[in-house]
Amino acid sequence: MKKKHLNKTIKELHAELKRTQPADDHVRGHIERLILEIDLLKAEPGEIPLHRYQLFLERLKESVRHFEASHLPLTQAVGRVIDALSNMGI
Contact 34, 59 (CB under 8 A): yes
The pTM is what? Answer: 0.79
Q: Give the mean pLDDT of the chain.
A: 86
Give the residue ranges of the chain where pLDDT is below 70.
Answer: 1
Rounded to the nearest 10°, the torsion over CA 29, 17, 56, 1 is: 180
